[in-house]
Chains A and B, each alone.
Chain A
Amino acid sequence: MISEKRIALKNAGKYNPENINNYLSTGGYKNVKKAYKLNPSEIIDLLIDSKLRGRGGAGFPTGLKEKFTNESVCNRCIQKYIVCNADEGEPGTFKDRVIMEQDPHVLIEGMLIAAYAIGATKGFIYIRGEYTDSIKIVRNALEQAYQNGLLGKNIFESGFDLDLEIKLGAGSYLCGEELTLLESLEGKRGYPRIKPPFPAEKGLFGMPTLINNVETFAHIPYIIEYGAEHYKSIGTANTPGTKIFTISGDVNKPGYYETALGVTLRQLIRDLAGGVKNNKKIKAVLIGGAAGTFVDESVMETPIGFDTLKEKGAVLGSGAIMVMSEERSLFDMLHSILEFFKHESCGKCVPCRIGTSQLLLIMSDSKKTVSERKTILEKLLYEAEYMAKSSLCPLGQSPIIPIRSINQFFNDQF
């Protein structure tokens, strides 16, 4: 039996998120104070050494991102920005919501430390508009942090200033992609930008910008407190630390569970999520959300990490785990995913705008025999492949991910 190991959710449920005094009395913000006694470069080295990787889905080394933003200089760069990506829209994912609703201060702490490390004095938390509770709680937490001198000027008498502000999304999945999020933050339509330049070089308003996911920021105070060696002792060699998995579907105890990486799907489903409902068999597990992969038994014993899953043809993504029991239909589930992509395509690039509709059209032709469905799968692969090659942003590059996984793991059961 495995059990939970909590880093991002360490304080969740242990204090009243609406009352900062409650948090301060249990040692809240002490890690920020500790970090502000270090040099920015020491913090960056610590994060690089810890091998913390972005928890939003891409798994890019957080320390390196901070290093690039810190070192980014240009003549017109009068301001650096720090941005928190709280536009959580990947289907099956709700880890950021849980952090914001139960421990908003760990997010502020993480941003305070990262902002100091890169020299950003202005920051934004971009929360999706549908997360009304998160917005309320984080807004209140920011106000209370200001009242206690933990935001604003000369924080902990370090001479360092930081202002944080909440910005709302308004129902666009694509704005969860970092460059699109920056466009939206500037008050524009959520259209993706061409990459490079990366945000570290040219981000918000053309200035160097560090943008991290909520869960990533929530790991930083812990690393400051316990050090890189301790952090690396948790999880796997390539992906140290913990991950919040949000498990839904046909399990007895769906919910959020934070465990050390290196855990297997079998352990997560059996030990934490209480096993499959009504003792049914598992048909497939969709891991990583809509831009995720359907996997079968052969991946159930793989220690989960960004690279280990990749080797098997699967993705970790945001950590969403959707369990489908034997009576569920893969065809139906894929159809729902493709509807999602069609709805969320912004329409900027032709291959994605037309491609997402085209994929649905192919599926609407849902003939029942196995051989006919195989032809459908082949057509889907063909279309999605060239969409991936010719679309600008991750949305157009995503439909191929679940389709390819069905081809790999469920070729004869589709």
Chain B
Amino acid sequence: MDNKLLIKTFEPRKENMLNILHVLQNNNPQNFLTSDDIKLVANYLNITYSSVYGVAKYYTMFSLKPRGKYVIRVCKSPMCHMIGNKEILQEIENSLEIKPGETSPDKLFSVEETECLGRCAKSPVLMINDKTFTALDKEKIKNILQTIRFDEQNIK
């Protein structure tokens, strides 16, 4: 759906800003908020560009620069850290040849580090877009990435 129509599903009140930003970001194939999106929200809520920008910039789930189709968020909280998230992150870095904060050249993947995802009984964990993957090891994450790549090639 077009963003201009999408935003109308919300009442034009400032307290809806976070919900609106989530929806706009999810509607972007590259999982980020464009400056047009920020302008659209500012106009719709009748507030300044900077007050929308300030909010979008503050919250770590929002990105103001293009990301991959799949955003991988690796939990680095104390429990995942203790059980071994380093190994998982290493495997992702090797496989995709990118570091946290970067996007792969084919624009398919972005990698980020995130704080506790609340799945500590099944550490280490990560999220890919809105799906959570738990009790990971090297093999598992390899398979997950391969499956995504395979699906993407089939789409093409």
| A248 to B122 CA separation, bound complex (whole angstroms) | 8
**Least CB distance, A310 to chain B, in whole angstroms:** 22
Interface hits, A328-378 → B, CB 8 Å: 328, 332-333, 336-337, 339-340, 343-344, 346
Interface size on B, residues (CB 8 A): 39
A206 to B: closest C-beta gap in Å = 13
Which of B92-125 touch A at CB < 8 Å?
114-123
In the complex, whether A89 has a CB less than 8 A from a CB of chain B is yes
* B58 interfacial contact with A, CB 8 Å: yes
In the complex, chain A residues whose CB is within 8 Å of the CB of B13:
187
Known: A184-B18, A248-B79, A333-B78. A130 touches B118 (CB 8 A): yes
A189 nearest in chain B by CB position: B58
B115 touches which of A91, A94, A186, A286 (Cβ 8 Å):
A91
Q: Which of B14, B59, B119 contacts A94 (CB 8 A)?
A: B119
Residues of B within 8 A of A187 (CB): 13-18, 45, 55
- Give the chain B neighbours of A168 by CB distance below 8 A: 18-19, 22
Residue B140, interface by CB 8 Å: no
The answer to whether A320 and B120 have CB atoms under 8 Å apart is: yes
A88, CB-defined interface residue at 8 Å: yes
Q: Are B78 and A167 in contact (CB under 8 A)?
A: no
A344 / chain B contacts, CB cutoff of 8 Å: 115
Please indicate the chain A residues that have their CB under 8 angstroms from the CB of B118 in the complex: 88-89, 93-94, 97, 130-131
Cβ contact within 8 Å between B15 and A91: no
For A343, list chain B residues within 8 Å (CB): 115
- Cβ A333 vs Cβ B18 within 8 A: no
A171 sits at the interface (CB 8 A): yes
Residues of B within 8 A of A92 (CB): 77-79, 116, 120
How near does chain A come to B56, taking the closest CB pair, in angstroms?
Answer: 9
Contact (A189, B54) CB under 8 Å given A167-B15, A171-B60:
yes
- Interface 1/0 per residue, A176-205 and B, CB below 8 Å: 000000001111111000000000000000
User: Are A91 and B121 within 8 A (Cβ)?
Assistant: no
In the complex, the answer to whether A170 meets B120 with C-beta atoms within 8 Å is no
Point out the residues of chain A lying under 8 angstroms from B121, CB to CB: 94, 246-248, 254-256
Assembly CA distance A97 to B58 (angstroms)? 24
Q: How far is the CA of A168 from the CA of B81 in the complex (A)?
A: 26
Residue ID in chain B nearest A251 by CB atoms = B121
B145 on interface, CB distance cutoff 8 Å: no
Is A249 within 8 A of B15, CB to CB? no
In the docked arrangement, what's the CA distance between A343 and B21, Å?
A: 22
Q: Closest CB-CB distance, A175 to chain B, in whole Å?
A: 9
Are B114 and A171 in touch, CB under 8 angstroms? yes
- Interchain CA distance A300-B42 in the complex, whole Å: 54
Nearest neighbor of B21 in chain A, beta-carbon distance: A170
CA distance A81 to B21 in the complex (A): 24
A69 at the interface (CB under 8 A from B): no
Q: Which residues of A contact B122 (CB under 8 A)?
A: 254
Residues in chain B within 8 A of chain A (CB atoms): 13-19, 21-22, 45, 54-55, 58-62, 73, 76-79, 81-83, 114-123, 127, 130-132
Q: A186-B15, A248-B121, A254-B121 are in contact. List 4 more A-B contacts (CB 8 A).
A: A94-B118, A167-B18, A170-B59, A248-B79
A-B contact pairs, 8 of them (CB 8 A): A129-B18, A131-B118, A133-B132, A167-B19, A172-B59, A254-B120, A320-B120, A322-B82
